[in-house]
Chain A
Amino acid sequence: MNALASLAPRPAPRPATPPALIERDFAVPDIRCAGCISKLEQGLVRDSRIHSARVNFTEKRVHVSCTADAQMPDLLGAFTSLGFEAHPIGDGPKDIDPDAANSRELLRAVAVSGFAMMNIMLLSVSVWSGAAGVTRDLFHWLSALIALPTIAYAGRPFFRSAWRALAHGHTNMDVPISIGVTLATALSLYETATHGPHAYFDSAVMLLFFLLCGRWLDSVMRDRARGGVTALLRNMGTGAMVFDSDGSTRWVDATELNPGMIMLVAAGERLAADGVIVAGASRIDLSLLTGESAPQEAGMDDVVHAGTLNLETPIRVRVTAAGTDTAIADIARLMGEASQGKSRYVRIADRAARLYAPAVHTLALMAFGGWMLAGAGWHDALLISVAVLIITCPCALGLAVPAAQIVAAGALMKVGVLIKDGSALERLAEVDRALIDKTGTLTLGRPVASNLHEIAPEHHALLLALARASRHPLSAALTRDLGAQGIAAADVTNVQETPGFGVEAQWQGHVVSLGRPQQGDAGTELATELAIDMQPVALVRFADALRPDAIEAIAALKAQGIDAMILSGDRAAAVAPVARTLGLTAITGMSPQDKLAAIARHTGAGHKVLMIGDGLNDGPALAAGHASMAPGSASDVGKNASDCIFLGDRLMPVADTIRMARRTQAIVRQNFMLAIGYNVIAVPLAFAGLVTPLVAALAMSGSSLIVVSNALRLKTTLK
């Protein structure tokens, strides 16, 4: 039997049957440099289960192909061992959203119209420089050959939108564009067929090219922010270890959790579904759910909610509601109502279009009518009115807003602020009152060791060595705080972790341990104790600390004319010290409804409210505020509801964002003025019949270049 077995080919080294690979995406927010790329790509594949890893730096994602037996916790562990925090991103077809596809389509249209524009311009320049007779006709026909398919392909976004607007009985920016392009093309065809001197194919295609650039920029901006936000959505925990009927455990995706399943929630893990505790007792961090900073005791039969964080010991939870049912119905309903106000906001470009479109049509009609009355004949009159339509087409206007906004969003992204769309920037520029949540927004929302300076420096190395060995939230906090001070860990051996009690190890012949304080600390305060040979030597206390630059950020907001105020769901005793330090008034113990009412009160008093918050309980308020911001550590609900997300521990990005938004708005207004100034000069020329295709081409590209370079000035605002 043994002989037979040794004769049979061993399965392992045979390369002919590669194991089936599965593809997974992870968001890794900490990718910052080339070093991170190589560390991740080369480090991850050392795990034999991971076949390949590819970093996408722009989106801060890592694409991993691994063997099917690699469980999610193992994969996350592989990231952790390299020093990165990774969050699984849901896979599957639902991630290929229609907006990203739209952006691709626009880019293709930009490429096609750009190609056509250059080639037609090549032919046009020859015509302008004096080609005549058969050559001119040939060049016009060639232009038509290139322009017609291009306009049919690249013009679709405008034709579609214009048709939709007309079908609903109103008009938008796309109506004059569509009419202008169609009329110019039709007339040029007629001119070409009758051997006329002027064809406007170049103008029509150039117009489409510039406008498509604007559209594409706008869409790219939304894509980029949405990519960033999706990468951050993670707090619901995207799955859980679930017990099978035979007692073994397996990883189940959040979407496949069903009521009745028993899930094992490790310390430091967020719950993936609502449930009831069936084994174990722990303390649960509710701060994202209610804003309360003190963790809550939870034992047998207690109800626990999805999105909350298990702080202390592993617990078993029977799932009662999973997936979309977990979001508390009340909050979901409130959010729906609250977000209606925001959808009524009309963007500045659309406001301009409401005035602009009728004006353009009237001008073109007047030009036609005027020249007819003057006895010019319908052909000349039509030619002039087409010139008016082309000249007034909102080429610079279509670029003026998106160009400024994408430059602003790009500069903000560099400092760690994600803006969801252009409308958010416009609304942020208008705010004059800030209502701020406390837990997780003004404060960091996570435990920070508060008395490290009281602990003898010789124990720091020991603390780091023990804390490093554990994934408990307090250990993680300690590792981060000590690591930031540049302390080298002590040399310990035989490290063992006992869930619920702590870490134990050998150090220079002594038994050292880090864990739950021995004299049963009864307070709600979080603490951990270092003991040498069972003798406690140091007690590390943890508290939720203010963001390091909160005072400066609040002062900067005030300097911008924005008064701040605290709205907290926490107890008055917990809020008071924060309010005192920052010199702000505070309202405490607020429910989501109370926060909504507070916003309505300020709005009623004529203020534009900026809501800054992070929790599930802030969701409705974030949706109701005129503009809203959330920190990167916020709940999924908070991040989805807010207009913009700032990453990192600092609060200053809030003030920077407002400054940038106001500056952007100023640039947009300047760009509008430039566009209007250009029209004031060009329209009389068009009226007089002086605008040949050459003049139109110069005017259009000139004005577009001016607004784009004006927008580029925003790049330096944050420096």
Chain B
Amino acid sequence: MNGLLVLIPIALFLGLLGLAAFFWSLKRGQFDDMDGAALRIFVEDEEDKAVQP
């Protein structure tokens, strides 16, 4: 029972943290371009190209 009193608030807090993180990322527009995010891994930075002879 004592363990529960500690663990439940922790569980709830972690859950709320996740929810807050989701809201934060939603607000920052991280879900605005879902398909583009998958493709950006293939985009080379211009700096990389510039060093090549």
Contacts and interface: CB of A to CB of B under 8 A. Distances in A.
B10 to A, nearest CB: 12
Given A107-B26, A119-B12, A37 B35 contact: no
Contact of B39 (A42, A57, A134): A57
Contacts of B41: 34
Interface string B7-22: 0100110011011001
A56 B33 contact: yes
Contacts of A112: 19
Interface string B23-53: 1001000001111100111111010000000
Interface string A573-591: 0000000000000000000
Q: Chain A contact residues: over half helix, strand or loop, or mixed?
A: helix
A111 B32 contact: no
Contacts of A134: 1
B46 A58 contact: no
Contacts of A33: 39
A142 interface: yes
A34 B39 contact: yes
A135 interface: yes
Interface string A345-374: 000000000000000000000000000000
B36 A111 contact: no
B1 A108 contact: no
Contacts of B35: 57-58
A673 interface: no
Interface in A1-42: 33-35, 37-38, 41-42
A56 B34 CA distance: 9
Contact of A108 (B15, B23, B39, B46): B23
A35 B36 CA distance: 11
A122 interface: yes
Contacts of B16: 115
Contacts of B32: 56, 58-59
Contacts of A104: 26
A309 interface: no
A58 B30 CA distance: 12
Interface residues of A, number: 26
Contacts of B34: 58
A111 B22 CA distance: 8
Contacts of A138: 4
A491 to B, nearest CB: 26
Residue of A34, A56, A108 with most partner-chain B CB within 10 A: A34
Q: Chain B contact residues: over half helix, strand or loop, or mixed?
A: helix
B40 A122 contact: no
Nearest to A59: B33
Nearest to B18: A115
A118 interface: yes
Interface in A29-86: 33-35, 37-38, 41-42, 55-59
A108 B26 contact: yes
Nearest to A119: B15
A502 to B, nearest CB: 38
B11 to A, nearest CB: 7
Contacts of B8: 142
Given A104-B26, A119-B12, A122-B11, A55 B19 contact: no
Contacts of A115: 15-16, 18-19
Contacts of A146: 12
Nearest to A145: B12
B44 A38 contact: yes
Interface of A: 33-35, 37-38, 41-42, 55-59, 104, 107-108, 111-112, 115, 118-119, 122, 134-135, 138, 142, 146
User: Which 5 pairs of residues, A with B, have the shortest CB-CB distance?
Assistant: A57-B36, A34-B42, A34-B39, A38-B43, A56-B33
11 contacts: A34-B40, A34-B41, A37-B36, A41-B43, A57-B33, A57-B36, A58-B34, A59-B33, A108-B23, A108-B26, A122-B11
Given A57-B33, A58-B32, 4 more contacts: A37-B40, A55-B33, A56-B32, A57-B36
